[in-house]
Amino acid sequence: MIDLADALVELLAPLSPGEELAGATFLRASTELGLRLTFEDAGELVHVEVFADAPDTKHAARSGRLLFAYRAGATGTKRGEALCAAVAARARRNEDRVLERLARHAGDGRVREVEVTRALEPAGRAEQPYFTLSPYVGCLIGCRFCYAQGRVGLARRMRGLTTAPWGSYVDARINAAAVLARELEEVPPHPIKLCPVVSDPYHAIEAKLELTRACLEVLRDAPPRPVLVLTRARLVERDVDLLASIEGAQVGFSLPTVDDAVRAWFEPRAASVADRLEVLAALRARGVRTFAVVQPVLPGDVDALADALAAVADSVSLDVLRGEEDATELFDAHAEARDPGWQRDRLEALTRALDARGVPRWDGELPPGVG
């Protein structure tokens, strides 16, 4: 199995990380937040995003079979467009060979065991760096509003895999723990996040394969650093003892509502509200710091949610709905939740309620005191 990040690097051959293209330094390729080629230009990061050619996809440049867009800070539009054009020119020479090799080694089936050459993906801003760690790609919980499905679907199309509904497939990175152990000897001690960017670390197949547990055992035995685990699954309860033995571990649940009927409507294969609160309480009782993520805000009593969070979470992250993805009809049944004004109002009400209860809140990617 070919690592997709390695394939992205091959698109730029003979360019290697550390070398310059169009006046910018190529840093790395990654697949955790979409298919990205990351460059540094005048002290700013520029992410060139790679897409399989498809109608209505916004892009700045095109090769023969791929599209390229960019995300940049102060670098500006002209520099981003120029870099996309340079990437497209390199890809034009290499894409047939790279894409055909990906297709030959794609494999088949809804559950695939794959090997990777890297486990840790750099993320975060220069002043607050961290790594993401995903033992799986694809999520069997399959929440239909999950923004990860578009990113993971993009990677599947790049490999030439058959389109499948979100929640029905997963790639299990069977050597993730071994690769992680090697990488921890080489990388700086930034925080590590196991969270549902491309998968939930505790979805159903983890009960059989135990890849997340194996990675946590590696982290337990390595020099301490902050380790964050975010899930929607009760299976994390299995590892309470292990998590309690990891210095710097924090565990959180996504908890967008206190109303379990609403939870079941939007997240039918995730743990119930009661289960999530019970596991957080058990973790806290073992001395593990806990957190919750409320994003998006779903219908339910705000004060009751604030009371529940105050009882079990050391901190809470809040954010609004960022897209419906494949959940349009679900939001049709709760139409208020798709309204940006309603989301903002509920977020402000929950903010006030949490503040009144003395619960620390945080924005961004890392809880207070981490990083």
Residue 84 reports pLDDT greater than 60: yes
- Could you report the per-residue pLDDT of 237-268, keeping only the tens digit for each? 999 999 999 999 999 999 999 999 999 999 99
Q: Do residues 233 and 141 lie in contact, with contact meaning Cβ atoms separated by under 8 Å?
A: yes
Q: What sections of 160-249 are H helices per DSSP?
A: 176-184, 206-209, 211-221, 240-244
Residue 138, phi-psi category: left (phi > 0), alpha (psi -120 to 50), beta (remainder): left
Structure confidence at residue 73 (pLDDT): 62
Nearest alpha carbon to residue 155 among 35, 12, 28, 6: 35
- The domains of the chain, with CATH numbers, are 4-104 (no CATH), 111-362 (3.20.20.70)
pLDDT band at 164 (very low <50, low <70, confident <90, very high): confident
pLDDT band at 52 (very low <50, low <70, confident <90, very high): confident
User: What does the CA dihedral 367, 358, 252, 249 come to, rounded to 10 degrees?
Assistant: 60
Q: What are phi and psi of 298, to 5 degrees?
A: -110, 160
Strand partners, 230: 252
Helix, strand, coil percent content, the chain, rounded in steps of 5: 40, 20, 40
- Could you report the per-residue pLDDT of 168-197, keeping only the tens digit for each? 889 999 999 999 999 999 999 999 999 867
Half-sphere exposure of 65 (CA within 13 A, CB side): 14
pTM above 0.95, yes or no: no
